[in-house]
Amino acid sequence: MNMPVLKTEPSVKAAMPGADVLRITPAKPNLVHSRLLPALRDAAAAVLPPLVMIILLLTVWQILCSKPGATLPSPTKIWSEAYDLIVDPFFVAGPQDIGLGWRVLVSLQRVAVGYGFAAVIGIMLGTIIGQSVWAMRGLDPIFQVLRTISPLAWLPISLAAFRDSQPSAIFVIFITSVWPIIINTAVGIRNIPQDYRNVARVLRLNPLEFFWKIMIPSAAPYIFTGLRIGIGLSWLAIVAAEMLTGGVGIGFFIWDAWNSSRLSDIVVALAYIGIVGFILDRIVAVIATIVTRGTAAN
Amino acid sequence: MTHAYLQIQGIEKTFKRGSHEAIVLKDIDLTVDKGEYVSIIGHSGCGKSTLLNIVAGLIDATTGGVILENREVNEPGPDRAVVFQNHSLLPWLTVYDNVSLAVNKVFAGVKSRAERHDWTLHNLDLVQMTHAKDKRPGEISGGMKQRVGIARALAMEPKVLLLDEPFGALDALTRAHLQDSVMAIHQKLGNTVMMITHDVDEAVLLSDRIVMMTNGPAARIGEILDVPLARPRNRLELAGNQAYLKCRQRVLEFLYERHRFVEAA
């Protein structure tokens, strides 16, 4: 193995006998120059463009809403009116006067339960449907119709069924987010390469081993696509559901603020919802990249 | 020949699609002795992979059967380990885990955990892949993946090792290197091997016998050629060997004169 290497080395040297070698003495590696500056430059490249855009948008908004007779509050007005909500998410000033952080946490709890059910049941149903051609043929059209139904449309039905707002809200989240999980899991299971199935057959894996060792890892990228769509949908659904069912969540807060004409509070709540939704999406995406590491590469 | 290790008897395979029926294989009879290295060669589409899959149990024969050590086999199992053409490693597992998946399944209850670990490493060592045991299949070259595929198959201690064009997707140098490895392993372990190939040199170099298949549809065994070359074989020494050249000539004549590949019109 190492024989050819030994041979070629001298011949390379012989090939260039008198070449002048310019030696540039490298400047002493400066930690500030080599590490800190590039890192700062990268950070600036990532942070500056959105920052500029936000300032620009706020300025336009400010100009538009500063005119007399403007129907919506301007950013400065929101800042002064909803100062406590913006600055401290976790204050408690009374039973119904609490920071938006608390409200978001209550909403997240509902989402966690509803989405958790959706994930478990969705993956299980999707696995069964992906396995069986007849289940796919029978159920897929039904799912395709059901998944287009708006979260709010489910609410009266679930209120009638559960006769309580808390399980109804959770059910609405479940029913909204379960479809993409089922459908994506089923597609992932159907797309398991025949090669992997053959490996499993040669090894005589039993159904349980096949499920854990071949199916789930192989379908993981699809499953996580479904889970990611699902978390987005359930966060959409929670706000709508809470607006109608009441309680403590962020959705009810918006409805309450609208009824008492606190438009500034609503804008702040919208920002909260957007940011939390973004964070939820990122969390699922990060989990997906960790779990499916290496699965896509073949 | 009375105590044939692997017997393939009267295999016929037809594929049905609606009312259309296509006969792929017809009247395949073949016996393989223990420790023998048999190659099956033929043009693409002649059903040689189908034959291998029937022996592996992955496809059912329409008629006929496969007998291994006096027992009929009709479902897949680790006693007939397959090295797939496209390696079929599980991409989410490391090289070590790919092999140990097989080891843990086949030797559960027979070997202790430590023994299974050692056996996995031993087989990786056999194909010289110990250095990459913690890498994932996506991080190693095609030849390395095929080595791991071979290690996985060997680790099952199969009665018959089935190789489905194992070197087909590799470049010529890697292929030669891997062929040498397979020869060395066969020499060392004395496996019974059945290999599908479309490479004449590969067939002559590796095999004790070469089974030549006629063109499909209804492909049959056209001719079986004994390769009377002593082992261990060396590809450089064989290059000018008369017996080697004669075998090569016979296979080439079969494939390119008597059973030329007819393009489907």
Those residues with Cβ within 8 angstroms of residue A277's Cβ, 6 or more apart along the chain or in another chain? A232, A235, A236
Rg (CA), chain A: 28
Look up residue B222 and give its two tokens.
Answer: 């056209």
Give residue A181's pLDDT.
95
C-alpha to C-alpha distance for A116 and B226, rounded to whole angstroms: 64
Beta-carbon pairs below 8 A across chains A and B? 66
Those residues with Cβ within 8 angstroms of residue B22's Cβ, 6 or more apart along the chain or in another chain? B14, B15, B16, B217
The one-character DSSP state at B90 is -
Please give the residue of chain B at the shortest CA–CA distance from A290. Answer: B92
Cβ–Cβ of A213/B101 closer than 8 Å?
yes
Please give the residue of chain A at the shortest CA–CA distance from B140. Answer: A298
Cβ atoms of B212 and B222 closer than 8 Å: yes
Give residue A112's pLDDT.
94
C-alpha angle B145-B149-B151 in degrees, rounded to nearest 5: 115
Name every chain A residue with its beta carbon within 8 A of the beta carbon of B91.
Answer: 294-298
Distances (CA, A) of A172 to A115, A148, A162, B232: 10, 13, 11, 72
Residue A296's nearest CA partner among A218, A189, A209 is A218
ipTM tops 0.95: no
Measured from the Cβ of residue A291, the count of other Cβ atoms closer than 10 Å reads: 15
Reported as a single tens digit per residue, the pLDDT across A74-104 is 888 888 888 888 888 888 877 777 888 888 9
Tell me phi and psi for residue B227, to 5 degrees. -105, 100
Q: Across chain B, how many H-helices and E-strands are there?
A: 8, 10
> Which segments in chain B show pLDDT lower than 50?
1, 264-265
Cβ–Cβ of B101/A198 closer than 8 Å?
no
Tell me phi and psi for residue A79, to 5 degrees. -60, -45
Angle between helices B142-155 and B172-189 in degrees, nearest 10: 20
Residue-wise DSSP of B41-83: E--TTSSHHHHHHHHHTSS--SEEEEEETTEEE-S--TTEEEE
Cβ atoms of A77 and A263 closer than 8 Å: no
Name every chain B residue with its beta carbon within 8 A of the beta carbon of A195.
Answer: 84, 86, 88
Rg (CA), chain B: 19
pTM over 0.80: no
For A294, which of B78, B81, B138 is closest by C-beta distance?
A: B138
Cβ–Cβ of A220/B91 closer than 8 Å?
no
> Which segments in chain A show pLDDT lower than 70?
1-29, 31, 294-298
